[in-house]
Amino acid sequence: MASLVQQFAGLICPPISSSRLTERAATFSKPKRAANYVVTAKAVAISDVQTKERHKLKELFEEAYERCRTAPLEGVSFTLEDFHAALDTYDFNSEIGTRVKGTVFMTDNNGAFVDITAKSSAYLPVQEASIHKIKRVEEAGIVPGMREEFVIIGENEADDSLILSLRSIQYELAWERCRQLQAEDAIVKGKVVGGNRGGVVAVVEGLRGFVPFSQISSKSSAEELLDKELPLKFVDVDEEQSRLVLSNRKAMADSQAQLGIGSVVTGTVQSLKPYGAFIDIGGINGLLHVSQISHDRVSDISTVLQPGDTLKVMILSHDRERGRVSLSTKKLEPTPGDMIRNPKLVFEKAEEMARTFRQRIAQAEAMARADMLRFQPESGPLSSGGILGPNISDLPAEGLDLSDVPPADESDGHDTPEEESD
């Protein structure tokens, strides 16, 4: 150990030169000053850029402020009037009775949710969805996506949503339609849905109208008329009093006035009797006698006709005072017996056969008038007292009763007085 210390002690190290220290110090100190200078220069540059940007922004804000103060609408296409119009468009009026446009976006078992561009959605209850009784809104064609006009009838206090109605609008339209039909003196169909001791209730255009028994042409009871359709005319249409009075008697009178002898009408077999079939021709019951069904003898009417059958018949006679109408399919047969063998052909040729028949009747009437003029004096026929009377035809104003008119071809021997008797 001592020898090792002596060895280290004997080592001689050269002295460090001060110039070398100075150079090394200079070497390390010069880069530090350069780095500090670069950092400072960069900071100054960034600060100058930010200052310039702030000045630019300040100038822009000052310019915009001055423009807004002096000319606020300069270069703006949306004018002040447009602004007020937009406010009016979106200024929602939620008062009861106001009509609004809305779009259905969802339905449930009780109604439909409607978007009416208000602060909250609106609801259409199922009982307000139609003038008719329905169980679901879909029955009235109300589905998501449907856009319609509604009327506000209330507000739900629980969630401030509005309650809408289509039924109220439909009622207004129905009353307007009834007033129009009354002005036109039109005949409408009404289904009997109820009754009381004074008359029956019939639905017309969705409204419940009252038909007094005095205004019903038949002697049927309310129970017998239930669920049947009656031809009706308007007597009183009063929306304010919610009163709608109808008449079946007036409608029947007008319908009967339009029944021309020799015309073809479509009817439905109502009932069968041993002597013939009763046919409903637009609310009027006509008799198709068994002798007027076919040229061939019909022993059992049920083999040719059944209740509910629809057929074409020709008007033979019309007794307005007694309310009786006589009908025939026999006169419409292209060949005798077609009504039994091929009734479809009879109905297809009905108008053509009736036209030929009317021509024969017109010729017969002309010949009858000519014969009467040939055998009476020019001043007119003699009365029972031997006094000359006016020159008047003895033919009825409504024309001849066509029940006994023979067919065009009498050689077939089918028409006999016994077969033609009613």
Nearest one of 239, 326, 343, 240 to 286, comparing CA atoms:
326
Q: How far apart are CA 202 and CA 219, in angstroms?
A: 17
**What's the mean pLDDT in 297-312?**
90
What HEC string does 331-365 produce?
HHCCCCCHHHHCHHHHHHCHHHHHHHHHHHHHHHH
Q: Are 282 and 322 in contact (CB under 8 A)?
A: no
**Interval 267-279: pLDDT, tens:** 889 899 999 999 9
**What's the mean pLDDT in 82-107?**
75
**Interval 137-157: pLDDT, tens:** 999 999 999 999 999 999 888
How would residue 91 be classed by pLDDT, with cut points 50, 70 and 90?
low
Q: Is 115 helix (H, G, I), strand (E, B) or coil?
A: strand
DSSP 8-state secondary structure symbol assigned to residue 314: E
| pTM of the complete model | 0.48
pLDDT of 418? 42
Q: One-letter amino acid identity for 222?
A: A
Least confident span in 260-264, 281-285, 403-407: 403-407
Residues 6+ apart with CB under 8 A from 182: 234, 237
**Interval 4-13: pLDDT, tens:** 444 444 444 4
Residue 179 confidence (pLDDT) above 90: yes
pLDDT of 282? 67
Q: How far apart are CA 63 and CA 45, in angstroms?
A: 27
Residues 6+ apart with CB under 8 A from 418: none
Top pLDDT among 160 and 128 is at 128
pLDDT of 398? 47
Supply 214's token pair: 């005095």
pLDDT of 218? 73
Residue 46 confidence (pLDDT) above 70: no
pLDDT of 93? 65
Q: Are 291 and 328 in contact (CB under 8 A)?
A: no
- Average pLDDT taken over every residue of the chain: 77
Q: Are 354 and 314 in contact (CB under 8 A)?
A: yes
Q: Is the dihedral angle over the CA atoms 365, 369, 375, 381 positive or is it negative?
A: positive
Residue 323 confidence (pLDDT) above 80: no
Residue 360 confidence (pLDDT) above 70: yes
Residue 164 confidence (pLDDT) above 90: yes
**What's the mean pLDDT in 163-192?**
93
pLDDT of 127? 94
Block residue for tokens 């049947």: 228
**What's the mean pLDDT in 83-96?**
64
**Interval 374-402: pLDDT, tens:** 765 554 544 444 333 444 444 444 444 44
Least confident span in 64-78, 236-250, 373-387: 373-387
CB neighbour burial string for 13-31, b if at least 16 within 10 angstroms, e if fewer: eeeeeeeeeeeeeeeeeee
Top pLDDT among 65 and 16 is at 65
**Interval 99-120: pLDDT, tens:** 999 999 999 999 999 998 876 7
DSSP 8-state secondary structure symbol assigned to residue 36: H
Top pLDDT among 361 and 384 is at 361
Residue 203 confidence (pLDDT) above 90: yes
Q: How far apart are CA 3 and CA 331, in angstroms?
A: 164
Q: Is 247 helix (H, G, I), strand (E, B) or coil?
A: strand
